[in-house]
Amino acid sequence: MTGLLTGCRCYRRRNRRTQGCRHRSAKSRTQGSRFSLRLVKLINLDHVAVAVHDLDASLDDYRSRYRVEPLYREVVEAQGVEEAMIPVGGSFVQLLQPLGADTPVGRFIESKGEGLHHIAFAVASIDIALEHLRAEGAKLVDEAARPGGRGTRIAFVHPADLTGTLIELVELPG
């Protein structure tokens, strides 16, 4: 099989007749992946999260500067935050205010100040995505999905795993 069929991008750099992909092991080339690329792939940029000290003041700033309104606003006790989701195209800007200094977002603000906290990708099945990442040796913050805002199921991938950025996987309800 060529890289085109196995999901590798290196097919563009090689002759079509070249078999296999040098980036995948011989075993995976011959047996194929256990996972469906359709189920594991990132569907969309769900949101970009920004940690803030004061959610109301930040929302006022977004309203006055960009003329936007949050579509959702809720307290997510399990994560220790109050969040507001501002729609931007097909994604959101998520503003996160910690409920206390001893929460993950509270500790983030204490050590780094306000600013970009994480990026979140929508996936079709968070369970399959986590299984795939575990099999690939990814460093996970969450071994299993947990409830998130908007009725979603979420899990985080540690910043040390890839490019120093905290990644959230989001499975939308229904």
Residue-wise pLDDT tens digits, 90-113: 999 999 999 999 999 999 999 999
Position 136 pLDDT exceeds 80:
yes
In this structure, how many other beta carbons lie within 10 angstroms of the beta carbon of residue 110?
A: 11
Which DSSP letter does residue 140 get? B
Task: Tell me the average pLDDT of the chain.
Answer: 84
Beta bridge mates, 154: 146, 170
Mark whether 65 and 142 lie in a shared domain: yes
Mark whether 66 and 43 lie in a shared domain: yes
Mark whether 106 and 69 lie in a shared domain: yes
Position 58 pLDDT exceeds 70:
yes
Domain extent for 82: 39-171
Mark whether 70 and 153 lie in a shared domain: yes
Q: Do 71 and 85 meet the contact criterion of CB atoms below 8 Å apart?
A: yes
Confidence of residue 39 (pLDDT cuts 50, 70, 90): low
pTM greater than the 0.85 cutoff: no
Position 7 pLDDT exceeds 80:
no
| pLDDT tens digits for range 160-172 | 998 999 999 999 9
Mark whether 117 and 157 lie in a shared domain: yes
The mean pLDDT value for 74-82 works out to: 96
Please name which of 121, 123, 57, 66 lies closest in space to residue 95, comparing C-alpha atoms. 57
Distance between CA 112 and CA 141 in Å, rounded?
Answer: 19
The mean pLDDT value for 109-124 works out to: 97
Q: Do 69 and 115 meet the contact criterion of CB atoms below 8 Å apart?
A: no
Position 4 pLDDT exceeds 50:
no
- What is the model's pLDDT at position 41? 84
Mark whether 107 and 153 lie in a shared domain: yes
| pLDDT tens digits for range 8-37 | 444 333 343 434 444 444 344 334 445 455
Report the CATH number at residue 166.
Answer: 3.10.180.10
- What is the model's pLDDT at position 34? 54
Mark whether 90 and 43 lie in a shared domain: yes
- What is the model's pLDDT at position 165? 96
